[in-house]
Homo-oligomer: A and B are copies of this chain.
Amino acid sequence: MTDTTSEIDFNSMLDALHQAIEKNDTSTALQTLQQADHDETAKLIDRLSVVDRQTLFGLLSPEQGAEVLEHVYYFQGADIIEELPAQVAAPFVAKLDSDDRVDLMNELDEEDSQAILEELDDDIAHETRRFMAYPEGTAGAIMYSEFVSFRADMTVEAILNDIQANREQYIEFGVQYAYVLGLEKQLLGVLPVRNLLFASHQQQATEIMIPNPTTVRAYDTVEELEAIFEEHNYLGLPVVNKDGCLIGIIDRESTTEALQEAATEDLLKFQGLMGKEELRSMPLKVRSGRRLSWLSINVVLNLISASVIAMHQDTLEAVIALAVFLPIISDMSGCSGNQAVAVSMRELSLELISPKEFRRVFVKESSVGLINGACLGLLIGGLAWLWKGNAVLGLVVGTALALNTTVAVCVGGLVPLALKACRQDPALASGPILTTVTDMCGFMLILGLASLCLPYLT
């Protein structure tokens, strides 16, 4: 997408699609969409206006629309669906695979998703509601209900006949495993399809299945699933309810994807984009409002730390050079603390530390904090001395930075553990908590020390 040829291609595709939509020309619109690969489809949809998207989906059949929805990112699909009236949107939603449908519905506003659920067929609506009830990051949220199962009393021959008869549907499911169920739908075993290669036609399903398979529950976390996939060479995992009945399948890929998504979200949260994700194709009001809601929290935190400076105005007035060092102390301590935050977050996510191991983290971080604080303090304190030719000023600046770096590194290392222990999300809250603490403490240290040494500074 970076070289000029493909950019020209893309622009001509966008033009063609745009014109087809204006002329209500379904076949050209479809043809253009079929030419585009997934990335291009996502970009095409991103660049269409809201009205164009509505018209386009008016032209498409439920199957064709569902195919477009499956090719774009799920949050783009949610935007499209929100733009349509519920009765127009529902047929497209109905044609999606169960896991894609749940992803998309979860991204909608409560009101929109309820309206669409009411338009769906009862059985689809029921299943969708049930899957939507599972929180993000659990097996229930990523499982799908399209699987192949056989009764325990079927012979290999009967199974092979069934496979031949339903070949096309099963291939679409991407089947590697089939499931052997009892009379009450309880899961008896897993049947790797390739086992059928080595079986005689008279054998029963129960003879060639793997009995007592590893199963998971719908509320198991994605991290727990990943641990199972790491340990075993499974491609899929059956999800059972409390009665042992098969309710869905998890595959390895969607587990890894869910974890990847969580990692990307962590990055966005750190940068203050919480809640629903922003694309530049969204309306200005939405984009500006979402960003302001996060900034307003920062305003309050900033005022708290700035009040420390306000309280020490006399000292600052007497030694105006200190004002130069306030932003440096704030920024450097923030950087040092954030490094410790990152190490803690990483060790937590790798499960190399438990949220209770405060002592270990404190011991390990305080030593790094003291060393790095001493280095930075000597450097910046030395520069302050050279600049103003006042050794006491250097001492005040250097000591404040050294102590505050130590505090920042320890707080940075411990905050993610504390948040995790309180079941809060470390990615979202660690940064603001850290900077507020380090700013307040840093300003207090430099201005407090300066007040004490005031006779030598003026």
In the complex this chain forms, how many copies of it are found?
Answer: 2
Q: Which residues of B contact A263 (CB under 8 A)?
A: 260, 263-264, 267
Asked if A273 CB lies within 8 Å of chain B CBs, one says yes
Asked if A162 CB lies within 8 Å of chain B CBs, one says no
Asked if A392 CB lies within 8 Å of chain B CBs, one says no
Interface string of A165-177 (1 = CB under 8 A from B): 0000000001010
Complex alpha-carbon distance, A294 and B336, angstroms: 9
Interface residue SS majority, chain A: helix
Q: Which of A253, A264, A367 has the most CB of B within 10 A?
A: A264
Q: Which residues of B contact A339 (CB under 8 A)?
A: 271-273, 291, 294-295
Asked if A298 CB lies within 8 Å of chain B CBs, one says yes
Complex alpha-carbon distance, A365 and B263, angstroms: 25
Complex alpha-carbon distance, A289 and B31, angstroms: 58
Separation in Å of the A380 CB from the closest CB of chain B? 7
- Cβ A346 vs Cβ B288 within 8 A: no
- Cβ A316 vs Cβ B320 within 8 A: yes
- Cβ A273 vs Cβ B313 within 8 A: no
- Cβ A352 vs Cβ B194 within 8 A: no
Asked if A46 CB lies within 8 Å of chain B CBs, one says yes
Complex alpha-carbon distance, A351 and B7, angstroms: 12
Q: Would you list which residues of chain A between 401 and 448 have a CB under 8 Å from chain B? A: 435, 439, 443
A368 to B, closest residue via Cβ: B288
Separation in Å of the A181 CB from the closest CB of chain B? 21
Separation in Å of the A369 CB from the closest CB of chain B? 9
Q: Which residues of B contact A288 (CB under 8 A)?
A: 367-368, 371-372
- Cβ A272 vs Cβ B313 within 8 A: no
A173 to B, closest residue via Cβ: B233
Asked if A324 CB lies within 8 Å of chain B CBs, one says yes
Asked if A325 CB lies within 8 Å of chain B CBs, one says yes
Which of A59-67, A81-89, A142-150, A355-363 sits within the interface?
A355-363
Separation in Å of the A102 CB from the closest CB of chain B? 19
Separation in Å of the A360 CB from the closest CB of chain B? 7
Q: Which residues of B contact A30 (CB under 8 A)?
A: none
Question: Given A271-B341, A309-B324, do A332 and B1 touch, yes or no (CB 8 Å)?
Answer: no
Complex alpha-carbon distance, A73 and B235, angstroms: 21
- Cβ B253 vs Cβ A42 within 8 A: no
Asked if A330 CB lies within 8 Å of chain B CBs, one says yes
- Cβ A310 vs Cβ B324 within 8 A: yes
Complex alpha-carbon distance, A252 and B281, angstroms: 31
Complex alpha-carbon distance, A113 and B324, angstroms: 47
Which of A18-26, A116-124, A300-308 sits within the interface?
A300-308
Asked if A278 CB lies within 8 Å of chain B CBs, one says yes
A297 to B, closest residue via Cβ: B335
A265 to B, closest residue via Cβ: B263
Q: Which of A279, A343, A347 has the most CB of B within 10 A?
A: A343
Question: Given A264-B263, A332-B295, do A360 and B280 touch, yes or no (CB 8 Å)?
Answer: yes
Complex alpha-carbon distance, A220 and B273, angstroms: 32
- Cβ B272 vs Cβ A338 within 8 A: yes
Enumerate the 5 nearest inter-chain pairs by beta-carbon distance, A residue then B residue, closest first: A271-B342, A260-B260, A263-B263, A323-B323, A280-B364
Besides A2-B354, A37-B231, A287-B368, 5 more A-B contacts (Cβ < 8 Å) are A42-B350, A268-B342, A291-B336, A299-B380, A326-B327
23 contacting pairs across A/B (C-beta < 8 A): A7-B354, A43-B351, A46-B352, A176-B176, A193-B197, A194-B194, A235-B235, A267-B267, A267-B342, A268-B342, A270-B271, A273-B343, A277-B346, A280-B347, A280-B353, A281-B352, A291-B372, A298-B331, A306-B327, A317-B317, A326-B326, A326-B327, A331-B439
Hey, which bits of chain A sit against chain B, CB under 8 A?
1-2, 7, 37-39, 42-43, 46, 73, 160, 163-164, 174, 176, 193-194, 196-198, 227, 230-231, 233, 235, 252-253, 256-257, 259-260, 263-264, 266-268, 270-273, 277-281, 284, 287-288, 291-292, 294-295, 298-299, 302-303, 305-306, 309-310, 313, 316-317, 320-321, 323-328, 330-332, 335-336, 338-339, 341-343, 345-347, 349-356, 360-361, 364, 367-368, 371-372, 375-376, 379-380, 383, 387, 435, 439, 443
